[in-house]
Every structure is written in C-alpha cells, then in structure tokens.
A and B are shown apart, each in its own frame.
Chain A
Amino acid sequence: MNENIHILVVDDETDVRDSIARHLRFLGYDVETAANGKEAATILEQKKTDIVVSDIMMPEMDGIELLRLIRKDYPMTHIIMMTGFVTQENILACMRLGAQTCLFKPIEDIEELEEAVHAAENALKKWKETFVRLRKLNVQYK
C-alpha cells in the first residue's frame, strides 16, 4: 500500500544502508539506495523521490550538501537525517535546511524512523489533497 511512496536511503556504509532499506521495504515502501550525496543526486534526477533518508558524514558529497541541493532543486522532497556523530553544528544545519528530523545512530528504536517516515508521508498526502482541491477551484474559476 505504500508502494507509491518512493524513498531513497543514502549512507556510505553498505550494511547500514541495506538494513534501513530492508526495513522500509518490509513496511511496503519502494526503496532505492545510494552510497553518497553524489550518487543520491543522480538518482534524484532520474526518479521522482518523496522521502530521502540520509547519513551526514559521507565521502564525495556529505549529507548537509545533499540536503542543501534537495532544498534548492526538489523542494517537495522530505528529508530525514541520520547521524552517529552528534554535534551542534550538524543538528543546526539540518534544522536550518529544513530536514524533517534528525535520528541518532545507532537507531535504538526503529519506530523513530517509522514515525518520521509516516509524518513525511502524511504531509505529502495532505499537500496532494490540497493540490487537488486547489486545482478543482481553479477549474471552477475559469
């Protein structure tokens, strides 16, 4: 039922990336993975992505840069950050750049991730409903 929601998981650690992706697939989402910001950017260009779950510290292009890029080019995409390296700067950057939330590794309670994904999903749904309603209004005004 969640298959029309596309999620992109970005982490340089294969095991982390795979386990998070596996969990989201278990919940029924359509999941892609990328090993760093650069790879993620390529996938974002090719495929409409609703939610990005990204690590912060990564080679090539880190999570903050990816976050900045998404904010600029894909304003409708929701972002959930994950980090094992909790610093004030990291968290502040995430908040300023409008990340949905920031999860701390190791994600001791996976429900935190689920809740964040659900919240993003609901926001998307609401927006879509509003969009449809506005379109209808537009048609009436024409």
Chain B
Amino acid sequence: MPTNEKEKIEPPPPHPIPVLVADDEETTRIMLEEFLWEWGYAPMCVPDGLTAFNALHKPDAPCLAIIDWMMPGMDGTDLIQAVRSAKFDRYIYVIMLTARQEQEALLKGLEAGADDFVPKPFDARELQSRIAVGARVVKMQNQLKAYAQNLETLAEERAAQLIHADRLSSLGIMAAGVAHEINNPCTSISSNMQLLKRMWKTLSPILQQNAATLENNGLSSAQLAFFQTEMPGMIENSLNSVKRITQIVRSLKTYSHKEGAGFQQCSLNQCIHEALRLCAGPLKQRLAITEKLAENLPPFYGDAQQMEQVLVNLIMNAADALQGRTDANLTITTTWIDTEHIEARIQDNGPGIPEDAFSKLFMPFFTTKSMSKGTGLGLSICESIMNSFGGRISASNSPQGGACFTLYLPIS
C-alpha cells in the first residue's frame, strides 16, 4: 500500500501553495487531494504520521499541513508534538482533522500545538476558508521571518563594518607608538651594521694577507674564503632588512595623520597632475597614460597632499601590475557624477585583481606583491585617507580586463 501512495504524491508546481495531507483513510485523502487541486493548492498526501514528519523535513516542504487525528503508529497529536519540538526553520500551520467532536479532544489537539480544528466529515467550504486563513498566516510568518532575517544580515554587515573601522582607528592610534618603538632598535641595528661594514673593509684584506698564519692557527683557506664571500652579503642583507622595516614604519605613521587638520578645497584634476608629475621619474616610458579629465570639476574638501599620496599609490600599483608589458596603458578619468559627488577612476590593462583578493584588498598587511616589494599597507592607507575625506575607494575588474580603482568624493 504505501508504495502505491507514494506514486500519488505529485511534486508541487512552483506557484500553488503546497499542502501536506496526512490521513490513513484513502477516501479522505483522495477527496482532499481533489478539493485542494481545485482550490489552487498543491496537495502532498501521505498515509501516516511518520511519513508526514519525514516529508516535512525535506527542503521546500509545505508550510501548511492537514493532519488526521486518528492514525496508526504516530497519530495526529504525536505528529504535531514532533513537528513543534523539531524546530523547523519555518512555521508550519497545522489544521487538525477529526471525527471526534468532544471538547476534550479539541483541547488536547490545541495543547499539542495545532493551529486550527476541522471536524470530520468536513464541510468543503469551511475547510477551504480555514486553509485560506492558514495560507495567510503562513505568508505573514514568512514575511516576518524574511524581514527579521534581513535585519539580521544588515546588523551583521554593520557590525563587520564597525569592527573593521574600529580596528583601523585603533591601528592608527597604535601606529605612532609602534613606529617610535621600532625605530630605536632599527637605529642601533642600522648603525652597528654600517660600522661592521667599514670594519670588515679594513679587516678583510689584512686577513687575506695573513692567510698562511691563519691556516697555521686553525682557519683553513676554504673557511677564510667563505668568510670573505659571505660577510659582505650578510651585512648588506641586514642593512636592506632594516631599510625594509623603516619603510613599513614610515607607512604606518601615515595612519596616525590628524584627521581633518589642514583640510581645504582641493582640485581633483590638479591632484592627478601632481601625482603624475611625482610618478614621472619611476614610470619613465614604462606605460602610456591616457587622461580623460572632466572640465570644470567642482572641488572636494580634504588634503591635496594626502589625495596625491592615494593617487601615487594607485598609479604605482598599476605600474607594478603592468610591468614587462609593451602595451601597458593606464587611463585616468574624472567625472562629475551628480550634484554632490565627483569620481576618479584609475584603470589599467593588466591582469586584473584575483577574485579571492577582493575581500582582503584594503586590509592592512595584505599584499599580492613579493615581500621585498610591498608592505601591504598602501591600499589600507588609501582607504583611511578616502574615508577621512568622507569619500570611498572601491576596486573592480573592468570587463575589458585590468583592474579599476574608483575614488568617490563628496563635492565641497
């Protein structure tokens, strides 16, 4: 029998609301099924409580259920109790169907968690309107749920933003302190290494001249040759490492710039000209630059020097991405977006930004460059500068290929 029943279960079409019918009497099931189709629902009929319970677990299972009170095995009350304690991620509206009309049974059913009660034999019109009520309740529940979920997502996003902002600002406060702390050990390493370099310059030829004496004293010529070749490299390496630390420290200090101090009306186009002038040396003939600057662009309120820093950073990033290409091109566009905003786009024809890098792009210390080339602070500094101007920086890959950075600024 049950296999037969299963064949009857038709997959509900996407539009009609699916309704689960659990009844051990075949006649009732057939009757209900016909009525439900007629009323525009998608019935899903099962012969017992357990099958019904399992059916409700499936994804896209009905939110409306018509359940018979008396069933073999898991009966209606058991089923409702099971449904209520199963904590589905959606609300299931349950209409109990029963021949019993005693008040006792009615109360028991409602206590178990039924939403409504229809006596058997049922009046078709009454059942139809009761199912309609159920459908309405389910719809409202779903709306409420979606609304709550939406709120939750918004709250989560906001929290993530706040955490990000907080981390950036505390990093800013920390930065100056850290920079100072790191500077001192760097100073001593740097000056020691520089002195060592000079001492070695004096010592090295003397050691070589006295190679024979040294050999007699246990220093083989191979060992001496090793010292001679390795020592300058070791010293140079240490000096370069210190330089690198210094570079990071210097970038970190930018975090602690005083926000709003020295802000004035600035011309975005002028900042771009200045930034290009600053980059001209290192960029010499390495890439073609196309400027598409809007005329009569209104000014923004901020710090021109910091804006130039942002632009230089983006231009140099692009130049790094375009290294070794003969068709390297950088397009800088400025646009008057609306009455309140202007925009600058820095677009290259390089390999673009890897998909998995987008989420981390503006995070401090994230870099796609090799360790010796980038500190991973450039873009995060750009972001904090743009934020301090009340603007935004965003990254995308243009459909023609290549990375595109957009600077969005409020008009002063």
Contact = CB atoms under 8 A, between A and B. Distances in A.
Interface of A: 11, 13, 15-16, 18-20, 22-23, 26, 57, 82, 84-85, 105-110, 113
Interface of B: 176, 179-180, 183-192, 194-195, 198-199, 242-243, 245-246
B242 A106 contact: yes
A19 B184 CA distance: 11
Nearest to A13: B184
B195 A16 contact: no
B184 A105 contact: yes
B192 A19 contact: yes
Q: Which 5 pairs of residues, A with B, have the shortest CB-CB distance?
A: A84-B183, A106-B186, A15-B188, A106-B187, A19-B188
A23 B195 contact: yes
Contact of B246 (A22, A26, A106): A106
A18 B191 CA distance: 10
Given A18-B188, A19-B191, 10 more contacts: A16-B184, A16-B191, A20-B187, A23-B191, A84-B184, A85-B176, A105-B184, A105-B186, A106-B191, A106-B246
Contacts of B180: 57, 84-85
Looking at chain B's contact residues, the main secondary structure is helix
Contacts of A57: 180
B194 A106 contact: no
24 contacts: A13-B185, A13-B188, A15-B184, A15-B185, A15-B188, A16-B191, A19-B192, A22-B195, A23-B195, A26-B195, A57-B180, A84-B184, A84-B187, A85-B183, A105-B184, A105-B186, A106-B183, A106-B187, A106-B242, A107-B190, A107-B191, A109-B194, A110-B194, A110-B195
Contacts of B246: 106, 108
B181 to A, nearest CB: 9
A19 to B, nearest CB: 4
A139 B190 CA distance: 51
Nearest to B184: A13
Which of the listed residues B180, B184, B246 has the most CB atoms from chain A within 10 Å of its own CB?
B184
A11 B187 CA distance: 11
A113 B187 CA distance: 12
Contacts of A109: 194
Contacts of B243: 108
Contacts of B198: 26
B187 A16 contact: yes
Given A57-B180, A84-B179, A84-B180, A107 B195 contact: no
A58 B180 CA distance: 12
A106 B241 CA distance: 12
A18 B189 CA distance: 11
Contacts of A82: 187
Contacts of A15: 184-185, 188
A18 B188 CA distance: 8
A113 B184 CA distance: 16
Contacts of A84: 179-180, 183-184, 187
Nearest to A18: B188
A33 to B, nearest CB: 13
Given A84-B180, A106-B242, A108-B246, A23 B194 contact: yes
A110 B192 CA distance: 10
A18 to B, nearest CB: 7
Contacts of B179: 84-85
A109 B246 CA distance: 12
Nearest to A14: B188
Nearest to B177: A85
Q: Which of B183, B186, B187, B195 has the most CB of A within 10 A?
A: B187
B187 A19 contact: yes
Contacts of B184: 11, 13, 15-16, 84, 105
Nearest to B198: A26
Contacts of B176: 85
Contacts of A113: 191
Given A26-B198, A26-B199, A110 B188 contact: no
Contacts of A18: 188
A16 B189 CA distance: 8
B190 A22 contact: no
B258 to A, nearest CB: 11
Contact of A106 (B190, B195, B199): B190
Contacts of B194: 23, 109-110
A61 B187 CA distance: 21
A113 B188 CA distance: 13
B235 to A, nearest CB: 13
A44 to B, nearest CB: 23
A66 to B, nearest CB: 18
A113 to B, nearest CB: 8
Contacts of B188: 13, 15-16, 18-20
A20 B192 CA distance: 8
